[in-house]
Structure 1
Amino acid sequence: MLLPAIFLASFVIAHPTPEFIAHRAPKVLEEVTIFIPPSTYTIPRTLYARTLLLETDGNETDVLLATWENYSPEPPYFPIFQSTDSGSTWTEISQVTDQVNGWGLRYQPFLYELPSEFGGFPAGAILCAGNSIPADLSATQIDLYASTDKGLTWTFVSHIASGGVAEPVNGDTPVWEPFLMLYQDEMIVYYSDQRDPDFGQKLVHQTSTDLLTWEAAVNDVAYDVFDDRPGMTTVALLPNGSYIMTYEFFGAPEASFAVYYRISDDPTAFDSVPGQVLRATDGTIPTSSPYITWSSVGGANGILAVSANSDSAVYLNQCLGAPNAWTRVSTPESASYSRNVRVLPGGILLITGAGVLSGTDNSVTTSSIDLNTVTLASCN
């Protein structure tokens, strides 16, 4: 969560067979508009887009879902839009509404499809985690919802974590920005945590074996300086079995909110490995609200892709995250706060955004690039 006092508001990728890629054959998109909010919405109207590619059903091979922070009249909700043509066109199919708190679902939605049966839900069930917050921003509550019909209807599952006033100010006690990932026999939810009085903000995770009860929070990134604020965890699985986490780091010596990352063999033990800044070969250090994903394109190592709020480019690495091998690559998608990156079959990187923090006429858009056509730094 960014520091200025303004209210703010996966993953195991299946390796497709050649036949699967040929069936889907998504095309490269030039900034498709998903949603234009009406003028009655509160500024910034939309933020913090997230997408999901449905993977478990062979009959659903072109289906994408999208959601975002939706600044509608009270109470807010997370809209669910669907594309059946790999992102070219979109239709609203449902809304995830607050069924338990009476506050609305206000900030930081995240969508995750279960790759296997878990917690009483079948493979292919969709989870939506997000922050339920009242209109006066007096509390934060990360809640979990589920859909067993591809996003058409939603049911409350559990409360994950609760915190105080929804202000990104050191000394306040909110929880922010959930990210879900199934690991072995546990669901991990990563999030940003301001509740520990020893830290302005730190990154933590909790685990569950049934999606109903959650173990105590465990530190992932916690710096010794109180004012330091790591935030906005995202995680991807590497082909060698390691995991890579990205986060923004207010307090980084290189740049305010510099994008940092950590690589660990164990995704529940990021606190035991050092963080390092993401610096491109041209010297650029991306900043703010990063998101990471991995593609099998490009050989045995595949390609890592990171987006950040600081510009419209993405940062690509075909060397398992080696620090000297990040290449800045232009995209047609506008810069936006906490853009989402998602790999489609065949190596198409879909980039989806919902505007900027200071935006007065934000909308939700998506674009893509073909990772097969990029030239990247070599592995030394």
Structure 2
Amino acid sequence: MLLIGSLPLFLLAAPFVIARPSLLPTRAADKLINNVTIFDPPSFYSIPRTLYARTVLLETDGDEKNVLLATWENYSPEPPYFPIHRSTDGGSTWEEISRVTDQVNGWGLRYQPFLYELPSAFAGFAAGTILCAGNSIPADLSATQIDLYASTDKGLTWSFVSHIASGGVAEPINGDTPVWEPFLMLFEDEMIVFYSDQRDPNFGQKLVHQTSADLLTWGAVVNDVAVDVFDDRPGMTTVTLMPNGSYIMTYEFFGAPEAAFAAYYRISDDPTKFDSAPGQVIRATDGTVPTSSPYITWSPVGGPNGTLAVNAASDTDVYLNRCLGAPNSWTRVSTPESASYTRNLRVLPDGTLLITGGGVLSGSDNSVTTSSMDLSSVTVAACT
């Protein structure tokens, strides 16, 4: 969660299919999309109206290769819900197909949705089942509850599955006890849910995960990033798999020496053991350190190592690395998509990078938009 000193910038609105898209010829430049509007909220929505957009590519959807679902924080009248919009043309056009509503708490689904498609059968659900994890929070913000929902019909209907983690008041203030920002990933026949955790009295905030073999019961809380200085706040986990079999995690780090909320990363052969990996700052070859709400993905475009892509709320750019996360090989590249808090990155079957945002923390007129870019056409720093 974002924090400046002891004051929140905003109630935090961070990281998942590990995508291995079948690589088709790169999309022609005239087919790229530029700030397509997915949803323009009505004027009666509460400010910031929308935030924290997320997408999923339906990779098990038969012959259809460009079907996407999108959701976001939706500041509608009470109780809030997570809208589900679908695109069947790679993000050019969208329509609402359903809403994920709070079926158990009576509070609404308020913050930090995350969409994940099961790549294989798991826990009694068929491959292609869509999972939605998000934070159920009452209108008075007195509690936080990360809950899990599932859709077995490609996002048309949704059913409650389980409570994952419960926390206190939804305030990003050290000493309060909320939980935030779920990120899902299947690994070795267990589902991992990564999230930010303020419940440990020894840490203002830390990054943790829990695992489940059945999506109903969740194991012990395991630390991923826990910094000795109480006021330091790592947050907003996202993870992707690299072609060498290692996993890379990004997170924002309030307390970093380089900049407030500097984008950091860790690399591990085992995504349940990030706590033992060293943290490194993302610093581009031009010296820029991106800050706030980073998101990472991997694309097969760009050579034998493919391309790692990271973005952050501090600018409209992406930070690309074709050297498996080598620290001196991040290149800052411009994109057509507007800056947003925790923009989502998604690789399409043709290798195009889709960038989707829900607006900025201080925005009074946010909307949900998406753009795409051709990674094969950009020059990235060589490996050293």
Q: For the superposition of Structure 1 and Structure 2, which TM-score range results when normalised by the shorter chain?
A: over 0.9
1:363 counterpart = 2:367: yes
For the residues of structure 1 that align with 2:127 and 2:27, how far apart are their CA atoms?
Answer: 22
Contact 2:263 2:290 survives alignment (8 Å): yes
For the residues of structure 2 that align with 1:334 and 1:22, how far apart are their CA atoms?
Answer: 23
Quote the residue 1:224 is aligned against: 228
For the residues of structure 2 that align with 1:25 and 1:151, how far apart are their CA atoms?
Answer: 30
Three-state SS of the structure 1 residue aligned to 2:275 is helix
Q: 2:328 aligns with which of 324, 331, 335?
A: 324
Deviation (angstroms), 1:190: 0.1
For the residues of structure 2 that align with 1:115 and 1:311, how far apart are their CA atoms?
Answer: 32
Task: Give the TM-score normalised by structure 1.
Answer: 0.97
The amino acid that maps onto 1:334 is S
Quote the residue 2:122 is aligned against: 118
Quote the residue 1:2 is aligned against: 2
Three-state SS of the structure 2 residue aligned to 1:58 is coil
1:14 counterpart = 2:39: no
After TM superposition, which residue ranges in structure 1, 4 or more long, deviate above 6 angstroms? 22-26
Quote the residue 2:85 is aligned against: 81
Deviation (angstroms), 1:174: 0.1
Partner deviation per Cα, 1:17-55 (whole Å, 9 max, x = no partner): 54xx58999931111011010111010000000001100
For the residues of structure 1 that align with 2:341 and 2:20, how far apart are their CA atoms?
Answer: 27
Deviation (angstroms), 1:303: 0.1
Task: Give the TM-score normalised by structure 2.
Answer: 0.96
Deviation (angstroms), 1:204: 0.1
Deviation (angstroms), 1:7: 2.3
For the residues of structure 1 that align with 2:269 and 2:30, how far apart are their CA atoms?
Answer: 33
Three-state SS of the structure 2 residue aligned to 1:117 is coil
Deviation (angstroms), 1:298: 1.1
Deviation (angstroms), 1:11: 3.5
Quote the residue 1:137 is aligned against: 141
For the residues of structure 1 that align with 2:188 and 2:28, how far apart are their CA atoms?
Answer: 29
Quote the residue 2:177 is aligned against: 173
Deviation (angstroms), 1:294: 0.1
Partner deviation per Cα, 1:319-350 (whole Å, 9 max, x = no partner): 00000000000001111101001111222100
Q: What pairs up with 1:103-252 in 2 under 5 angstroms?
A: 103-252=107-256
Three-state SS of the structure 1 residue aligned to 2:12 is coil
- Answer with 217-226 or 6-15: which moved more: 6-15
For the residues of structure 1 that align with 2:341 and 2:348, how far apart are their CA atoms?
Answer: 22
Quote the residue 1:373 is aligned against: 377
For the residues of structure 2 that align with 1:95 and 1:227, how far apart are their CA atoms?
Answer: 37
Contact 1:258 1:288 survives alignment (8 Å): yes
For the residues of structure 1 that align with 2:348 and 2:29, how far apart are their CA atoms?
Answer: 9
For the residues of structure 2 that align with 1:305 and 1:14, how far apart are their CA atoms?
Answer: 14
Q: Aligned pair in 2 of structure 1 residues 305, 116: CA closer, same or farther (>3 Å)?
A: same
The amino acid that maps onto 1:16 is S
Contact 2:21 2:59 survives alignment (8 Å): no
Q: What pairs up with 1:237-316 in 2 under 5 angstroms?
A: 237-316=241-320
Three-state SS of the structure 2 residue aligned to 1:60 is coil
For the residues of structure 2 that align with 1:268 and 1:333, how far apart are their CA atoms?
Answer: 33
For the residues of structure 2 that align with 1:26 and 1:186, how far apart are their CA atoms?
Answer: 41
Aligned length: 378
Contact 2:194 2:209 survives alignment (8 Å): yes
The amino acid that maps onto 1:64 is L
For the residues of structure 1 that align with 2:208 and 2:30, how far apart are their CA atoms?
Answer: 36
The amino acid that maps onto 1:353 is G
For the residues of structure 1 that align with 2:31 and 2:89, how far apart are their CA atoms?
Answer: 9
Q: Aligned pair in 2 of structure 1 residues 15, 49: CA closer, same or farther (>3 Å)?
A: closer
Quote the residue 2:46 is aligned against: 42
The amino acid that maps onto 1:245 is M
Contact 1:26 1:348 survives alignment (8 Å): no
Bigger RCO (CA 8 Å, 6+ sep): 2
Partner deviation per Cα, 1:104-145 (whole Å, 9 max, x = no partner): 000000000000000110000000000000000000000000
The amino acid that maps onto 1:269 is K
Three-state SS of the structure 1 residue aligned to 2:355 is strand
For the residues of structure 2 that align with 1:25 and 1:282, how far apart are their CA atoms?
Answer: 26
For the residues of structure 1 that align with 2:221 and 2:209, how far apart are their CA atoms?
Answer: 5
Q: What pairs up with 1:19-98 in 2 under 5 angstroms?
A: 27-98=31-102
